[in-house]
Amino acid sequence: MVNYGVSRACETCRKRRKKCDEGRPVCRRCIKAGQDCLGYRSHDDLRFRHYTAPMTVPVQSSSPPAREISIIEDPVGFFLDQYVICSADARVSRGFLGGLPSLLAKVHHPSPNLVQAVEIVAWATIGNRLDRPDLLMNAREQYVSILDSFQTLLQCCQMGEPTVEALVIAILLGLYEIVSSGEPLPGQHKHVAHVRGVCALLLNPNSPFDLLSSTQLFQVANPLLIKRTLQDDDSPGVLCAPAPNNTVRNLDSILIKCHPLFERADTQLQNPETTLHELQGTLDDALAIDVAFSHWSTNQDTSWKPNIVGHITQKNAESSSCPFARAGVVHSYFDIYVAAVMNTYRKTYLMLLDTLIRLTSRIKGSVQTDAVTRWERQAHILINDIIASIPYHLTDNVHDYERTIWWSNGSPRIGRAVGGLLLLHPIFVLATCSIVPSPIHTYVTKCLAWIGKTMGIGQATLMSKLCAPPISTESMQ
């Protein structure tokens, strides 16, 4: 008898004596059968990993490649592989949509709206990656068709309690907006109208979800604020559900104060008739938030701090074919969720420091104060920490990335789409913030273009084209 080794099937398929497709984080055969997937056994030679096959440029031929066919045939499986982060420890991380697999497998017939929303994001991502306008059109048509039923679902939530399912669908539609907004296609103006319709539904004062978080635009890196208690509050790993981790709660309480302040400061700085008294009042409010950010960073749990993987030299970075290789330290984190929240703190704090410097410059003129010098030093730290997180977001294994760059051994394996997704806004801030050095503007703009083309996140492509070099207020050496 041929020995095929230890069975790799999930526990549910083993008990049911069914062939397992070994899907991660849960078996898709279990989802389709309405069974709870009990996960996989832990063996030294059978370790759990999120596996992502290397991305290859599709070759023009008379028939699609086998991998392309496999992806297209299972959009739900593709989405679970590319976007779901299951937390290894809920006390440290909430993961990202980690409750979605169990939500899909919760009943024998999952919500058609939920499945359709998952497929919409998958089709848009695949269409961007493979340059398939037909798949993008399919995603758009499904998106339009789901709007009416989603509006009805929101109305039900307004009359009762918001459900986890409604919140997840809202997140997925928001993800579709981010993934699909790249190059304009025929009829794009109609699509934009539908996108605005979803935004209007979600941002309606009567909506059960308050998406006007710290950045006004829908930002998946920020925990969203829930106006009322969610039904099924114990659903694991939904990013927007209230997290037991006080680190996230405390950061959110700071972030929601920032956007109104940024708007007020920009309005005042653009108006030459703004009085010094008005500017000083805004500066005082910004200084209070500066103190809050400083306290948050010093009091965070040690499990949230980055780990130093290694250091890339200038010579190795320049000789590498990796488009995002850069000299400097390389960081890793507990998981992508933790990295995303840390970068949310960094990019928002960086925007605050930029505001502080511009306000001080307007009030005191060109005099270099001790406070400005301190803010510039802090900005350097934040900028470098965001850059150090980029390989962790964009590669399959940050340790392999370091070895690949050191040995000039081609390009590292591409990471999952969720890494690029959660990195978008932090590096867009680097590309547009006036206190960031020009070489870094150029570098992160190239990173955005790469994320859009390679990972299939359309908004990254759009952002890379909107990144005009900002007018610098101070030269940071």
Task: Give the dihedral of Cα atoms 346, 350, 351, 353; nearest 10 deg.
Answer: 140
CA-based nearest residue to 215, from 344, 376, 102, 111: 344
Q: What pLDDT is stored for residue 473 in this prediction? A: 46
* Domains of the chain by residue range: 1-42, 73-218, 248-476
The CA-CA-CA angle for residues 461, 464, 469, to 5°, reads: 170
Q: Which two tokens stand for residue 24?
A: 């991660």
Q: What is the DSSP string of 291-308?
A: HHHHHHHHHS-GGGSPEE
Q: Which of 149-158, 228-237, 258-267, 304-313 has the lowest mean pLDDT?
A: 228-237
User: Between 112-130 and 133-159, two packed helices, what is the crossing angle to 10 degrees?
Assistant: 150
Of the two residues 40 and 215, the one the predictor is more confident about is 40
> Which carries the bigger pLDDT value, residue 411 or residue 393?
393
C-alpha torsion 50→346→234→237, nearest 10: -10
CA distances from 72 to 54, 66, 123, 153 (A): 16, 10, 8, 29
Q: Does residue 124 contact residue 102 with C-beta atoms inside 8 Å?
A: no
| 208-219 as b/e: b if 16+ CB within 10 A | bbebbbbbeebb
Q: What average pLDDT is seen over the chain? A: 77
Q: In the CATH scheme, what is the code of domain 1-42? A: 4.10.240.10
Higher pLDDT residue, 323 or 41? 323
Q: Is the pTM of this model over 0.85?
A: no
Beta carbons within 10 angstroms of residue 236's beta carbon: 16
Average pLDDT over residues 103-111: 68
Strands 328-332 and 225-226: unpaired
Looking at the predicted structure, is the pLDDT value of residue 404 above 60? yes
Predicted confidence at residue 466, as pLDDT, reads 84
Cβ contact 158:209 at 8 Å: no
The mean pLDDT of 107-133, rounded to a whole number, is: 86
Span 169-206, pLDDT tens digits: 888 888 898 898 765 545 444 445 445 545 554 555 55
Closest Cα partner for 451 from 178, 66, 46? Answer: 178
Determine if the peptide bond prior to 64 is cis (ω within 30°).
no
Least reliable range by pLDDT among 18-22, 32-36, 189-193: 189-193
